Structure 1
Amino acid sequence: MLARLMLATALLAAPAFAQTQDQTTADGPPKRVRSILLYGQESCPKPANPDEIVVCSNAGDSPYRIPKRFRDQPKEDAPSTSWSRRMEVVEEVNSRGLPNTCSAVGTGGQTGCTRQMLQQWYQDKLDKEAKASRVP
């Protein structure tokens, strides 16, 4: 039993001992590391000497092009909103309490709730179709 335990310990320690021997014979880390971005069909250059490491990565089609994931992004902020939509919002806010407005304020405000829900549903449907058409 003790012999098996000693054998297992020796087998586990062998890789660690081999690693320390390899590290002591090496001169340390490489003297020079080059990182290179490749565009299009460029190939990775060979190291100039054995103490040099060349790391290459593919950066896309051209260094002067905007990456595809950033091209043609529609703006959804306030300045890019159309004036007709801005006026619809103003009219909606100012018409509270009038008939067909779906408001608890004023007389006749409750009559437009169904119409407002249908308009919201239709606008959501149009927005989903527009977003689905923009996905590449």
Structure 2
Amino acid sequence: MFRPLLIATMLALPAVAVAQSAPVADAAESGSPPQRVRAVTLNAGEKCPQSTGNEIVVCSTLEQPYRIPKQFRDSGPIPAKNQAWGNRAATMDQVGRVAGGLPDTCSPVGSGGQSGCALATNRAWAAERRAQQDANASVP
């Protein structure tokens, strides 16, 4: 039962070996790493220069200087399950402070909760202003 499969495998092995020994780039054949990695920032209308020999050329444009595509950047707040435990612990600590009405929390419960209302208002105003500046900066 396995004999025909074994024979077919033995006949296919030389074809696979020939396909793997197809010619590749000079650096890959020598097995040596590239000697130089060059990062180039392009202006509008320029094209990326070709790499030569043992050189790698990485191109970026002024509009998108990052390698991560824009649709994958700044996707909003990170879900709690994907955050580090330190961030989760800090969030739980802050929630507990607000629930307990501790000072600087702007909570209606507790003796010192009212002292943080001005601080919370200022932080909200600053965040709103930063968001407006970012929106104005992204509009051409």
Fold match (TM-score > 0.5): no
TM-score bin (small chain):
0.3 to 0.5
TM-score by length of 2: 0.35
TM-score by length of 1: 0.36
Larger radius of gyration: 1
